[in-house]
C-alpha cells in the first residue's frame, strides 16, 4: 500500500496497550496490568504495527524490547495520552463550573435545624442545584462571605454588614446559660440585672456593638469588660459557663442542639430577641440567593413552635424578585 492508503482504525486503546507492554517489558505483565488476557493484547499490538507499517517491538524469549522506532513512538504515545487526559479533565472542570452551586454557611449551635430545613427546601425546589453546607465559627459568620467561601450565610445580629446585603429570617428569643448549680438556676426567668455579678462570656474579638447584644448592661468601656472570659464558638462559651461559673446569653435555638446536665437555660425578660438574617455579598444577589431567602424564611416559620424560632419581622431588605 502507498503512504496514503493507511486505514485510520487505531484508537486510544491501542496506544494504552502499547505503552503498557513497553513499560512492563512483556505481554504477560502488561495483560495483568490492563486486566485482560494475553492473546487479544498481542493481536492489538500486531494490528498497531500493521496499521503503522512499523516494527515497534522485538519479541525475545524473555519478553520484548523496543526498537529505535518503538522508543520514539512510546514518547509520542505517552504525550498523546497525557494530552487527552488533560483535555478530559479540563472539560470535566468546565462542566463542574457550569453546574449551579450554592454554598450556605451557618453555625450549627445556633441554627442547625433551620439551616438543614432550608437546604432541604432549596433542593426540593431546585433539584439541579448543588447545595453545599459550610460550618463557620462565631466570629466567621460574615468573614466567610467576604472571603468568597460562601454564597449566603446565616448571621446572628448584631454583625458588621459592610459590603453585604441581608434579609431577616427569624427573631430568636434570648436565654441565659448558667451552671446547673448556680443560685439562679432554679429561676423560671431572670433579668439582665440579676446577672450583674456573674462573669458573662463574650465573643473573642467582640467589638463595641456587642454591648447591644448584652442589653447594654455590659459595655466594652467598663473596667470588667476585658476580664470577662471570651469564646470563639457557642459550644466553647457553654463549656466556659460550666468551668468558670459564668453566664452566656445565647439564642433560644441553642437549646435544640445542647443536651447537657451541667448547665441550664433560662429566659431573660429584658433583653430583646436576636435577629437572625441571611446575608450575601453586595451586588451578588441571584435567583438562587432569592430562593435561599424564601426557603430560609419558610423554614423558620415552619419550625417556629418546635425549635423556638420566632416569626420574621417585616423589617429587613429582601432581594428583589
Confidence of residue 216 (pLDDT cuts 50, 70, 90): very low
pTM: 0.57
Distance CA 80, CA 82 (A): 5
Q: Is residue 210 predicted with pLDDT exceeding 50? A: no
CB 27 within 8 A of CB 38: yes
198: helix, strand or coil? coil
Which of 37-46, 201-210, 265-274 is least confident? 201-210
Distance CA 180, CA 10 (A): 77
- Top CATH class, 12-96: mainly alpha
Give residues with Cβ within 8 angstroms of 233, minimum separation 6: 107, 109, 137, 138
Domain positions in the chain are: 12-96, 102-171+275-307, 174-267
State the DSSP code for 247. B
Architecture of domain 174-267: 3-Layer(aba) Sandwich (3.40)
Chain-centroid distance, C-alpha 7: 52
Distance CA 64, CA 51 (A): 20
Confidence of residue 23 (pLDDT cuts 50, 70, 90): very high
- 102-171+275-307 and 174-267: identical CATH topology: yes
Distance CA 89, CA 312 (A): 46
CATH for 102-171+275-307 (3.40.190.10, 3.40.47.10, 1.10.287.3510, 3.30.450.90): 3.40.190.10
State the DSSP code for 153. E
Q: Is residue 313 predicted with pLDDT exceeding 60? A: no
Confidence of residue 197 (pLDDT cuts 50, 70, 90): confident
Neighbours of 61 (CB within 10 A): 4
Tens of pLDDT, residue by residue over 50-76, are 889 999 999 887 788 999 999 999 999
Amino acid at each position: 500500500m502507498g503512504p496514503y492508503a493507511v486505514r485510520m482504525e487505531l484508537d486510544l486503546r491501542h496506544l494504552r496497550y502499547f505503552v503498557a507492554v513497553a513499560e512492563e517489558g512483556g505481554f504477560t505483565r502488561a495483560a495483568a496490568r490492563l486486566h485482560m488476557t494475553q492473546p487479544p493484547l498481542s493481536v492489538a499490538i500486531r494490528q498497531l504495527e500493521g496499521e503503522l507499517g512499523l516494527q515497534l517491538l522485538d519479541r525475545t524469549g524473555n519478553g520484548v524490547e523496543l526498537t529505535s522506532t518503538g522508543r520514539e513512538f512510546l514518547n509520542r504515545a505517552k504525550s498523546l495520552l497525557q494530552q487527552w487526559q488533560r483535555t478530559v479533565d479540563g472539560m470535566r472542570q468546565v462542566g463542574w463550573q457550569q453546574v449551579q452551586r450554592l454554598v450556605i454557611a451557618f453555625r450549627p449551635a445556633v441554627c442547625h435545624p433551620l439551616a438543614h430545613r432550608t437546604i432541604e427546601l432549596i433542593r426540593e425546589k431546585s433539584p439541579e442545584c448543588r447545595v453545599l453546607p459550610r460550618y463557620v465559627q462565631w466570629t466567621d459568620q460574615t468573614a466567610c462571605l467576604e472571603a468568597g467561601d460562601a454564597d449566603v450565610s446565616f448571621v446572628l445580629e448584631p454583625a458588621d454588614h459592610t459590603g453585604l446585603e441581608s434579609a431577616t429570617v427569624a427573631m430568636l428569643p434570648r436565654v441565659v446559660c448558667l451552671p446547673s448549680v448556680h443560685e439562679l438556676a432554679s429561676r423560671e426567668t431572670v433579668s439582665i440585672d440579676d446577672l450583674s455579678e456573674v462573669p458573662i462570656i463574650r465573643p473573642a474579638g467582640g467589638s463595641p456593638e456587642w454591648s447591644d447584644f448584652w442589653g447594654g448592661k455590659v459595655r466594652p468601656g467598663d473596667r470588667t469588660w476585658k476580664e470577662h472570659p471570651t469564646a470563639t464558638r457557642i459550644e466553647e462559651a457553654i463549656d466556659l459557663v460550666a468551668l468558670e461559673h459564668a453566664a452566656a446569653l445565647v439564642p433560644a435555638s441553642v437549646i435544640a442542639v445542647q443536651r447537657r446536665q451541667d448547665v441550664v437555660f433560662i429566659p431573660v425578660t429584658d433583653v430583646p430577641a436576636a435577629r437572625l438574617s441571611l446575608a450575601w455579598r453586595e451586588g451578588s444577589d441571584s435567583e438562587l440567593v432569592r430562593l435561599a431567602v424564601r426557603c430560609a424564611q419558610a423554614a423558620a416559620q415552619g419550625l417556629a413552635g418546635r425549635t423556638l424560632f420566632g416569626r420574621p419581622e417585616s423589617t429587613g431588605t429582601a432581594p428583589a424578585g
